[in-house]
Structure 1
Amino acid sequence: MRTSRLRTVHPVLWAGWAALAAGAVLCVVGWYGVSGERYAERQLPYLASCTIPGAALIVAGAVLLARGRGSIAATRVEDLYHLLVAAEPDEPEGTGRAALAPLAVSGDLLMVPGGTLWHRADCPLVAAKAEAVPVDSKLVASGELDPCPICEPAAETD
């Protein structure tokens, strides 16, 4: 898939470089023609036929190069997305979170003063916090504290 998209991008880049080169050549030819003429009425044909189209080709080439590079960047982002998200799972189908070992299994419940959740003692969110204290059952009963969605202490205590 990647090579098919890159094949369509490379002609855009080549066309951009070709337009830039042709525009530069036309500008040089126009400048050379204008510099050799003393009178303005003899300089106008060089401006009209070389310099103005050359400048337009330079602008068009710059736009094509920017578009081609943007397409390459989009292709790379899409490839990274497929590597991260769309990859086949390693586990067999039908196994979900229920089949995995629980994250925390401790029966002791803790809370952080000023926090809004209550946790199991081995929950990774409170395991390393020295300020964690045992849960006040009054706060849980009043609904001021919610169960942690990570360690899910409500399933065991309900």
Structure 2
Amino acid sequence: MRTARLRTVRPVLLAGWAALAAGAVLCVLGWYGVSGERYAERQLPYLASCTIPGAALIIAGAVLLAHGRGSPAGERVEELYGLLVSAEPVDGDETGRAADAPLAISGEMLMVPGGTLWHRADCPLVAGKVEAVPVDSKLVASGELGPCPICEPAGETD
């Protein structure tokens, strides 16, 4: 499988680098030709025959390089999406917790200094954090702290 992918990706990458190199050479030749001519009428053939095709080759080379490098990543994303979709949902009984049970049920309210939310003590966002301190009711009353959307603490504090 790996050799098959290398056989298809490698020529695309080589073609991309070749197109970039040819485009760069054409652009340099066009610039050199234009710089040697004083009149616009004499510069136009260099633009038409070298610079514009050179720019088109540079764009084509960039597209080939992006496609050649991006296809394995795209395949991996599709594979991971397929695994995600095919995974069966886990029932609440198998995890030991009912699906409708709240995430946190503690009555003690905590906050992290400098934070904007207040949490229940067993909320996964503050559980085990040493810097979590009890909620200051003045901050809640003034509206500086809002309830955590994950643990959904009650509206009143101690």
Q: TM-score, normalising length from structure 2? A: 0.49
Q: TM-score, normalising length from structure 1? A: 0.49
The structure number with the bigger radius of gyration is: 1
